[in-house]
Amino acid sequence: MKANDIVIPVLDALHQLQLPFMLVGSFSSNMYGEERTTQDADFVIQLTRPLGELAAALGPRFRLDSQLSFETVTMTSRYVAEFEEGPFKIEFFLLRDDPYDQERFRRRVAKPFRDRTVFVPTAEDVVVQKLRWSRPKDIIDARLVIAVQIGKLDLAYIRKWCAEFGKRDLLERLLIEAASIS
Amino acid sequence: MLSAEELGGAMTRERVEAARRRPEHMKLLAGGDLFDAAIERMWWGIRSESPSVTEAEIVAEIKRRLNLSRRLERFG
């Protein structure tokens, strides 16, 4: 089964349970920047129902690990689901109380994913989140999103949050670089 | 150690304009499609390295490599 085919029943389960969600990670940065391969689909979800209901809605072809894991780099907690065939994984990150995460989630936008609807962060929030974490791959993604989207971005919003996270200098450097090739 | 810019490659006007031309709905699906293509190449690579391995062993090896890659990616 193809990777995008595996995402479809996940979207169906989230819609069925009416769990607020957004698709983040490479899927969203690909959409605003330049495409690269991804090994998993990362969702931020507001888990308003028991985990068992999500497992049931996903169906028997998914194995949802009930063990919550915590990532120290990004300070996020997640559940991982594996599809029975193949190595593509689904990760469900729990929406945090952090003010920025709440704001990013509130601003999410609906987009088509084949014949389904998916919610994704705005381009501005992809940039802010990538610069907030600032791992090498995040900076690579952020600079491409900025370069591709420059002229359409709400820079005041991005600058505000980057200043909050101490990333304003990095942002300005990437903006100068993007402007130089546009 | 290479900088993020070096790792990401030169960001040329042509590269950026090509990314701008691609429709969003196609770019949203591209990561999964590229993953499928990479897995297929990996599958054949393992098969050609070890012609006697079973399909289950190939899948297990692919999972092992991807799990390693995920751990590396997770920490930057």
Give the tens place of pLDDT for each residue, B26-63.
999 999 999 999 999 999 999 999 999 999 899 899 98
Nearest CA in chain A to B35: A37
Give the tens place of pLDDT for each residue, A156-173.
999 999 999 999 999 999
Q: Inspect the interface and report whether the beta carbons of B31 and A88 lie closer than 8 Å.
A: no
Give the tens place of pLDDT for each residue, A111-155.
999 999 999 999 999 999 999 999 888 999 999 999 999 999 999
- CA–CA gap between residue A60 and residue A51 (Å, rounded): 14
Which residues numbered 5-34 in B keep a CB inside 8 Å of some CB on A?
A: 5, 7-8, 11-13, 15-16, 19-20, 22, 24-25, 27-34
Contact A54, A13 (CB under 8 A): yes
Burial A82-102 (b: 16+ CB within 10 A, else e): bbeebbbbbbbbebeeeeebe
Spell out which residues of chain B touch residue A114, defining contact as CB-CB under 8 Å.
Answer: 29
Q: Write down the pLDDT at residue B8.
A: 60
Residue A87 or A60, more confident: A60
Domain-wise residue ranges, chain B: 24-76
Burial A56-71 (b: 16+ CB within 10 A, else e): ebbeeebebeeeeeee
Contact status of A113 with chain B (Cβ, < 8 Å): yes
From A87's Cα to the closest Cα of chain B, the distance in A is 6
Q: Inspect the interface and report whether the beta carbons of A30 and B30 lie closer than 8 Å.
A: yes
Which residues numbered 50-69 in A keep a CB inside 8 Å of some CB on B?
A: none
Number of neighbours of residue A104 by Cβ within 10 angstroms: 23
Residue A9 has pLDDT above 80, yes or no: yes
pLDDT confidence tier of residue B9, bands split at 50, 70 and 90: low
Contact status of A112 with chain B (Cβ, < 8 Å): yes
Of the residues B21, B27, B66, B69, the best mutation for testing chain A's interface (the one with the most A CB atoms within 10 Å of its CB) is B27
Q: Inspect the interface and report whether the beta carbons of A113 and B28 lie closer than 8 Å.
A: yes
From A72's Cα to the closest Cα of chain B, the distance in A is 9
Nearest CA in chain A to B15: A34
Which residues numbered 52-71 in B keep a CB inside 8 Å of some CB on A?
A: 59, 62-63, 66, 69-70
Q: Write down the pLDDT at residue B73.
A: 73
pLDDT confidence tier of residue B71, bands split at 50, 70 and 90: confident
Give the tens place of pLDDT for each residue, A38-86.
999 999 999 999 999 999 999 999 999 999 998 877 788 999 999 987 7
Q: Write down the pLDDT at residue B1.
A: 47
**Which structural domains are found in chain A, ordered by start?**
3-98+108-121 (3.30.460.40), 127-181 (no CATH)
Angle B1-B2-B8 from CA coordinates, rounded to 5°: 155
Residue A160 is encoded by which pair of tokens? 């505000």
Structure ipTM: 0.91
